[in-house]
């Protein structure tokens, strides 16, 4: 299969051509401008490559309800130019092929369960901590959508008493994204997160906030593995801190093999940053197979 993959981002669009094994043949990036400028460039790229299907991992919020007339739209995104952009129908019309569509973070978790370290697991959470904070959720072998899709970067966090930083989410005073994103670290401590590696107190606090969110995900979703990615997680010292704090917060209430082996339970993303784009290949494959007769459709129970 010749599959197209597109990861949308606030500053750039990552475009790739690959196949159903996750192999990427070629890729390019296109700067993110307004859709009137950027969409024709994306279409030209994928048209020239002759892809059989395209998978799009998209910033959100997006409409994933296939019964809605607005299925495949970007909806209330803060990136104003992209609000109400009908991504799926524009690509479908221009490329005349199936278009898989999901959130960027759901694509990342799909990449990890299809091609990465979570292969074979049925319940996995992927959390990215970068410019924003977001979580992809794979539950009982499917990407979780529900009424919308998870927005688990905005779960409420109990603020530490000595933390005077106001938070930077315009919607919530103390959500995870507002308190723990890369830009929140920069505002609170007055320097970019990557320059604060030696400041222990920065990572103690960061690990506490991330651990609170993870404890909540563990209690509500019962994941078999939690994968942490995004720029901020390049600070590897966060991992042991987060693992220790999660164990303290759960306080022995849940006893499973997974939680006894925290080093293999809360883990860094391991597809060299390609989990999102590889997940988009799988989104494309799933959409292509969904339109074919059942005998060609061996792995398609995920839609
Ligand atoms: P984006 O979320 O924009 O797709 P990233 O996941 O790289 O991109 O996140 C960017 C954020 O991560 C920035 O706020 C940056 O300060 C932070 N960041 C990037 N690299 C590091 C690092 N090595 N250590 C800590 N923070 C980092
Ligand atoms: Zn928020």
- Tell whether 93 and 237 lie within a shared domain: no
The per-residue pLDDT of the chain, averaged, comes to 95
- Tell whether 8 and 39 lie within a shared domain: yes
Sheet holding 24-31, edge to edge: 24-31, 12-18, 3-7, 53-58, 99-103
Tell me if 111 is assigned to some domain.
no
Tokens matching residue 35: 């859709």
pLDDT for 54: 98
The C-alpha angle with vertex 188 and arms to 184 and 190, in degrees rounded to 5, equals 110
- Asked if pLDDT for residue 293 goes beyond 90, the answer is no
Ligand 1 atom index nearest CA of 181: 14
Instruction: Indicate if ligand 1 lies below 6 Å from the C-beta of 191.
Output: no
Tell me if 301 is assigned to some domain.
no
Tell me if 109 is assigned to some domain.
no
Tell me if 77 is assigned to some domain.
yes
Give the gyration radius of the chain's Cα atoms.
Answer: 19
- Tell whether 91 and 145 lie within a shared domain: no
Instruction: Indicate if ligand 1 lies below 6 Å from the C-beta of 194.
Output: yes
From the CA of 133, the nearest ligand is 1
Tokens matching residue 73: 């739209």
- Asked if pLDDT for residue 303 goes beyond 80, the answer is no
Q: Give CA–CA dist 216/158, Å, rounded.
A: 12
In this prediction, residues 230-245 reach a mean pLDDT of: 98
pLDDT-based confidence at residue 292 (cuts at 50, 70, 90): confident
Tell me if 149 is assigned to some domain.
yes
**Minimum mean pLDDT among 171-175, 185-189, 199-203, 291-295: which range?**
291-295
- Tell whether 142 and 75 lie within a shared domain: no
pLDDT for 294: 60
Distance 16 CA to ligand 1 centre (A): 22
> What is the percent of the chain with per-residue pLDDT over 90, rounded to a whole number?
93
- Tell whether 121 and 265 lie within a shared domain: yes
- Tell whether 264 and 278 lie within a shared domain: no
- Tell whether 285 and 246 lie within a shared domain: no
Distance 218 CA to ligand 1 centre (A): 25
- Tell whether 230 and 121 lie within a shared domain: yes
- Asked if pLDDT for residue 22 goes beyond 60, the answer is yes
- Asked if pLDDT for residue 53 goes beyond 90, the answer is yes
pLDDT-based confidence at residue 158 (cuts at 50, 70, 90): very high
- Tell whether 127 and 235 lie within a shared domain: yes
pLDDT-based confidence at residue 10 (cuts at 50, 70, 90): confident
Distances 204 to 106, 181, 238, 267 between C-alpha atoms, Å? 28, 14, 8, 18
- Asked if pLDDT for residue 297 goes beyond 80, the answer is no
In this prediction, residues 137-165 reach a mean pLDDT of: 97
| Residue among 32, 103, 127, 193 to mutate when testing ligand 1 (max atoms within 8 A of CB) | 193
Tell me if 110 is assigned to some domain.
no
Tell me if 27 is assigned to some domain.
yes
pLDDT for 299: 52
CATH code, domain with 263:
3.30.420.40
Instruction: Indicate if ligand 1 lies below 6 Å from the C-beta of 57.
Output: no
- Asked if pLDDT for residue 217 goes beyond 90, the answer is yes
- Tell whether 89 and 146 lie within a shared domain: no
- Asked if pLDDT for residue 296 goes beyond 60, the answer is no
Contact assessment for residue 148 and residue 61, using Cβ atoms and an 8 Å cutoff = yes
Q: Give CA–CA dist 282/280, Å, rounded.
A: 5
Predicted model pTM? 0.95
- Asked if pLDDT for residue 240 goes beyond 90, the answer is yes
Domain containing residue 64: 3-104+274-296
For ligand 1, atom 24, the nearest C-alpha belongs to 194
Strands 12-18 vs 24-31: parallel, antiparallel or unpaired: antiparallel
- Asked if pLDDT for residue 133 goes beyond 70, the answer is yes
pLDDT-based confidence at residue 77 (cuts at 50, 70, 90): confident
The structural domain count of the chain equals 2
- Asked if pLDDT for residue 24 goes beyond 90, the answer is yes
**Minimum mean pLDDT among 91-100, 269-278, 288-297: which range?**
288-297
Instruction: Indicate if ligand 1 lies below 6 Å from the C-beta of 130.
Output: yes
- Tell whether 188 and 139 lie within a shared domain: yes
Instruction: Indicate if ligand 1 lies below 6 Å from the C-beta of 232.
Output: yes
- Asked if pLDDT for residue 302 goes beyond 60, the answer is no
- Tell whether 94 and 216 lie within a shared domain: no
In this prediction, residues 209-231 reach a mean pLDDT of: 98
């Amino acid at each position: 299969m010749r599959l197209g993959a597109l990861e949308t981002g606030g500053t750039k669009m990552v475009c790739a051509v690959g196949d159903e094994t996750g192999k990427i043949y070629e890729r390019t990036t296109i700067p993110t401008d307004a859709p009137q400028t950027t969409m024709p460039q994306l279409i030209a790229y994928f048209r020239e490559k002759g892809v059989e299907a395209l998978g799009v991992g998209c910033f959100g919020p997006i409409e994933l309800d296939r019964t809605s007339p607005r299925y495949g739209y970007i909806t209330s995104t803060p990136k104003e130019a992209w609000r109400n952009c009908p991504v799926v129908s524009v690509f479908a019309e221009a490329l005349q092929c199936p278009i898989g569509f999901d959130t960027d973070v759901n694509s990342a978790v799909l990449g990890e369960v299809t091609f990465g370290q979570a292969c074979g697991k049925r319940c996995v959470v992927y959390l990215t901590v970068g410019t924003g904070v977001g979580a992809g959720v794979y539950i009982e072998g499917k990407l979780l959508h529900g009424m919308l899709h998870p927005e688990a970067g905005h779960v409420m966090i109990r603020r530490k008493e000595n933390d005077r930083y106001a938070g930077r989410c315009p919607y919530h005073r103390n959500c995870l994204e507002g308190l723990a994103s890369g830009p929140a670290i920069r505002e609170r401590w007055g320097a970019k997160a990557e320059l604060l590696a030696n400041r222990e107190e920065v990572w103690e606090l960061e690990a506490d906030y991330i651990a609170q969110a993870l404890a909540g995900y563990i209690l509500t979703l019962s994941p078999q593995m939690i994968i942490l990615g995004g720029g901020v997680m390049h600070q590897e010292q966060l991992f042991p801190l987060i693992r220790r704090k999660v164990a303290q917060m759960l306080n022995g209430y849940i006893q499973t093999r997974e939680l006894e082996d925290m080093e293999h339970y809360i883990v860094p993303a391991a597809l060299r940053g390609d989990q999102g784009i590889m997940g988009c290949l799988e989104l494309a494959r799933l959409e292509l197979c969904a339109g074919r007769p059942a005998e060609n459709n061996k792995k398609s129970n995920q839609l």
